[in-house]
A and B are shown apart, each in its own frame.
Chain A
């Protein structure tokens, strides 16, 4: 079964540094998403990406965050000037082969630890 692949599985970074989280969505999916889950809390929507641009973003997704689809297969989340509170599990997801969002398939996540 097709999978969403995320790398790295775990990243430790120092406060103030920039990190890039990488994702390879399911090929032919058209919608891409980033979510995060702070330990013990709900999974929270960050941003959705469709047709090479951000289609929606949450209040969390401020200027510290950016997304990019640098080529036909990768989808990245960049976090600038990381803060301790950015420590969380970050999930990438993709959906919609036919132009309408449907079942979302999630990656296994990247655990980001900011020290």
Chain B
């Protein structure tokens, strides 16, 4: 059974800082890995999808990597902005197994 862990649970950074969010999973036979953003009381917004054959994906200031052999994915956010404040979730495979998320606060 796939287990997904995200570290840290919460992160507070000053505006403009680059940061990395971590995600680890137990089953390396992962089909794909997806990063989401969730604002309080809201739905999930897909940020990036990495297929199992890929190593990374980029979208704007976001870059996500996938290392299946080590069971890890990272989400890199460059030049963070207050609008990036949200909970970031990673999830793997067809029937997405989610981590608990990292709550990010970007301080102006």
Contact = CB atoms under 8 A, between A and B. Distances in A.
Q: How large is the interface on B (under 10, 10 to 19, 20 to 34, 35 or more residues)?
A: 20 to 34
Given A45-B97, A48-B95, A91-B43, A104 B89 contact: no
A35 B44 CA distance: 11
Q: What does DSSP make chain B's interface, helix, strand, loop or mixed?
A: strand
Contacts of B43: 91, 106-109
B73 to A, nearest CB: 15
Q: How large is the interface on A (under 10, 10 to 19, 20 to 34, 35 or more residues)?
A: 20 to 34
Interface of A: 31, 33, 35, 41-45, 48, 56, 58, 91, 93, 101-109
B34 interface: yes
Which of B96, B98, B100: most chain A CB closer than 10 A? B96
Nearest to A40: B100
Interface of B: 31-32, 34, 36, 42-46, 49, 51, 89, 91, 94-101
A44 B98 contact: yes
Top 9 A-B residue pairs of the complex, sorted by shortest distance between their CB atoms: A108-B43, A106-B44, A43-B98, A103-B49, A45-B95, A101-B94, A109-B43, A106-B43, A42-B98
Contact of A103 (B42, B46, B95): B46
